[in-house]
Structure 1
Amino acid sequence: MATQFKSLSDFSHITVGSAVDLTIAIVVAQWNAQITSSLLEGAYQLLIKQGASAENIQIIEVPGSYELSSGADIILRNQHIDAVICLGCVIQGDTPHFTFICEAVAHGVTQVALKYNKPVIFGVLTTNTLEQALERAGGIHGNKGEEAAATAIQMANMSKTIKG
């Protein structure tokens, strides 16, 4: 496996940018809380590191990954937000439920982004095992929450630059 011992959260080759003037919402699933709480911590800490103020970061909890799209839609409908980070974790089981949920969440996040013309970031782990999820939520492969936050900052700043 090419990424077996590689941290996937390496930002050394990119400029993440400043989050000083950004308002960011983080919509996080409560299901698989051991994983999603680590993703949330990674995202939150990167936003703070990049200059976001705690007052400009809103955290919204939803029951599970399936509800991430609805949560993003609700926050964008009711508040001025520069970007939304959706954090969740779906672990493969013995039924096709995994496939249906993953496809629905990916499609839903995309639809909300297009509806509001705002960055809505897919920070959802879709793994075969709990171990794989732990490796990507602060383990040997880094923290996917950090990656989602970096993406949100880049996309929000790009959107502001293009809009003038």
Structure 2
Amino acid sequence: MFGADKGTTAEDRLNGKKLSIGIVQARFNASVTDALAAACKAELVALGVSDKDIDHVTVPGALEVPVALQAMAEKGKYDALIALGCIIRGETYHFELVANESGSAVTRLALDYQLPIANAILTTEDMPQAIARQDEKGRDAARVAVEMANLLESI
């Protein structure tokens, strides 16, 4: 069991020194996704992941994120992946479609490839909500990716 039973500390769970991480960032709502990416990458480095072990690609929007994640997963070189995006509710059903389909595809890829994928595709009502979440969610995604990569390695 991951945790106290194996003597694994919180520090061990968040040790990214030997990990390779892939990031896929949607460019739509770029001011938010750029901030997500900056916070995420800074946290990965703070957790010990080397800059050379972080691959970061961009795609047009949230619906394209899973395609790039799948291509990265198929390479077999990553310990974890991170999905970054920002979907803001509009006046049409498009918000639900993009939010549901991108979220479902990210989850399916994680399960199909048995690869941790931290999903930080924000789904908010408006831009102020997205801005309020961009830094913390970027950092959270980095911590989730590192912790889950270490967990799966220990199982």
Distance 1:112 1:137 in 2: 24
Q: Deviations over 1:8-31 (max 9, x none)?
A: xxxxxx655100000000100011
- 1:22 aligned onto 2:22: no
- Taking the aligned partners of 1:52 and 1:147, their CA distance within structure 2 comes to 15
Match of 1:33 among 30, 34, 43: 30
Of 65, 69, 74, the match for 1:72: 69
Structure 2: distance between partners of 1:159 and 1:21: 14
User: How far did residue 108 of structure 1 move?
Assistant: 0.2
Structure 2 unmatched ranges of 5 or more: 1-9
The Cα shift of 1:145 comes to: 0.8
Paired residue for 2:115? 118
Q: 3-state DSSP class of the match of 1:47?
A: helix
% identical equivalent positions = 34
* Paired residues, number: 145
1:104 to 101, 105, 116: 101
Match for residue 59 of structure 2 among 59, 62, 83: 62
1:146 maps to 139
Question: In angstroms, what is the RMSD of aligned CA positions?
Answer: 1.1
Of the three residues 123, 130, 133, the one matched with 2:130 is 133
Query: Normalising by structure 1, what TM-score?
Result: 0.86
Q: Which runs of 4+ in 1 moved over 2 A?
A: none
2:153 alignment partner AA:
K
Greater helix share, structure number: 2
Partner AA of 1:87 in structure 2: L
- The CA distance in 2 between the partners of 1:79 and 1:106, in whole Å, is 22
Tell me the secondary structure at the aligned position of residue 18 of structure 2: coil
Q: Distance in 1 between matches of 2:96 and 2:105?
A: 14
Unaligned runs of 5+ in 1: 1-13
1:79-99 CA-to-partner distances (Å, cap 9, x unmatched) read: 410000000000000000000
Question: Normalising to structure 2: TM-score of the pair?
Answer: 0.90
